[in-house]
Chains A and B, each alone.
Chain A
Amino acid sequence: MSARLITELGFGLISVAAIVLGIASHLFPKRVPTLTSVLAVVMRRRTTRIAFVVAWWWVGWHFFVQN
């Protein structure tokens, strides 16, 4: 198994885990919170909000403007 494949599998595994968790949060809301409910708690602080907004915005900038 090549290093590249391991790297790709790692990203794939994390993405699948996020999708599964997203589905589980809607199927079993008492056991798994939705991402937005977690964000709502985390983002009570301005610095955290700004950090998240900048990280999100940069993804758009990177893929749709910068290349």
Chain B
Amino acid sequence: MALGFPERRVGRLPVDLPVLALIIAALAHWIRGARADALIFLGVVLLLMLAESWGYGDNDLLTEPAARIPGIALVVVVALLVLTFGRNTVPMMLTVSLIGLLALFIELREPSLPAKPDLPVPHGAWLWSAIGLSWCLWELISFIFEQAAGGLSLTHPTMSDLIDPLLSNRIVQALAIAGWLAAGVAMLRASAIARRS
């Protein structure tokens, strides 16, 4: 999480640590046999590098009002969709894809903010970074053990292996997708507020 603190250099460097993290994630997907996921991540890396290299997204955009991100209504509609159709269906594939594309479009369109060396990082931010990094490390360890065991480890399950069985019920699926979407909306809103503040 501490990869992109803004006191570090903000420029037109097309490859930085977050881009590197996306490339590593793509490699991990490739190793675990999820070729489509790997290609999606690599596609995003390519888009991002093009956007950074060409300077796509003018600072003029920062004076425009932020894109309005729908909240509760969207969460309710998507939860109802998964309640009706269930996960792993074509309607859910279209819905999740559309949500991802919209979020990507909103964020790709917005340029990086100018560096502000005097901008304080919130006191205690390291606590959140520690939790995020701990989770990543624990997942990575489980992932390595799982790959060593041939793709499914009973002794070192990844987060996916633990959560997946819980999602067999549609009501749980609806609650889970509502939580996922609410988290994403909160993240996008935090980002939009920071850009306009």
Which residues in B have their C-beta under 8 angstroms from that of A51?
A: 3-4, 18-19, 21-22
Asked if A39 contacts B134 (CB within 8 A), the reply is no
Contact of B4 among A32, A47, A61, A67 (CB under 8 A): A47
- The secondary structure that dominates the A interface is helix
1/0 contact string of B98-140 vs chain A (CB within 8 Å): 0110011001101111000001011111011101001100100
Asked if B122 contacts A4 (CB within 8 A), the reply is no
Total residues of chain B contacting the partner, CB 8 A:
81
- The secondary structure that dominates the B interface is helix
Chain A nearest CB from B55 CB (Å) reads 11
Contact of B138 among A14, A48, A60 (CB under 8 A): A14
Total residues of chain A contacting the partner, CB 8 A:
48
Asked if A63 contacts B164 (CB within 8 A), the reply is yes
Asked if A49 contacts B191 (CB within 8 A), the reply is yes
User: B63 interface residue, CB < 8 Å from A?
Assistant: no
Interface residues of B (CB under 8 A from A): 1-6, 10, 16, 18-19, 21-22, 25, 34, 36-37, 40-41, 44, 48, 51-52, 57, 82, 87-88, 92-93, 96-97, 99-100, 103-104, 107-108, 110-113, 119, 121-125, 127-129, 131, 134-135, 138, 142, 154-157, 159-160, 162-164, 167, 173, 176-177, 180-181, 183-184, 186-191, 193-195, 197
8 closest residue pairs by CB, A with B: A48-B4, A33-B122, A40-B194, A51-B18, A57-B100, A36-B190, A3-B155, A44-B113
Q: List 24 A-B contacts (CB under 8 A).
A: A8-B157, A11-B162, A30-B123, A36-B189, A38-B1, A41-B121, A41-B125, A43-B4, A45-B4, A46-B51, A46-B57, A49-B110, A49-B191, A54-B44, A55-B25, A57-B100, A58-B25, A60-B184, A64-B82, A64-B96, A64-B177, A65-B88, A65-B93, A66-B34
